[in-house]
Amino acid sequence: MASEPRLDGTAPMDYAEHEKTYDLFISLTKWGSISVIVILVLMAYFLI
């Protein structure tokens, strides 16, 4: 772990790790959405 827990039992925020995780989430969401849109467009083109 990053450091000792505080008196209320929670660990302090690791903001660098939090921002890295958030950037990964946003990137995966963006590319996943783009992939789904491309697949739907290709299906509409080839199946209709």
The CA–CA distances, whole Å, from 21 to 4, 24, 41 equal 22, 5, 30
The Cα 47–Cα 31 span in angstroms is 24
pLDDT at 45: 96
Does an H or E element contain 9, and which? none
What are the boundaries of each domain within the chain? 16-48
* 26: amino acid identity, one letter: I
Residue for token digits 């008196």? 7
pLDDT tens, residue order, the chain (48 aa): 556 666 776 777 888 999 999 999 999 999 999 999 999 999 999 998
Whole-prediction pTM value?
0.69
Going by C-beta distance under 8 Å and a sequence separation of 6 or more, which residues neighbour residue 11? 1, 2, 3, 5
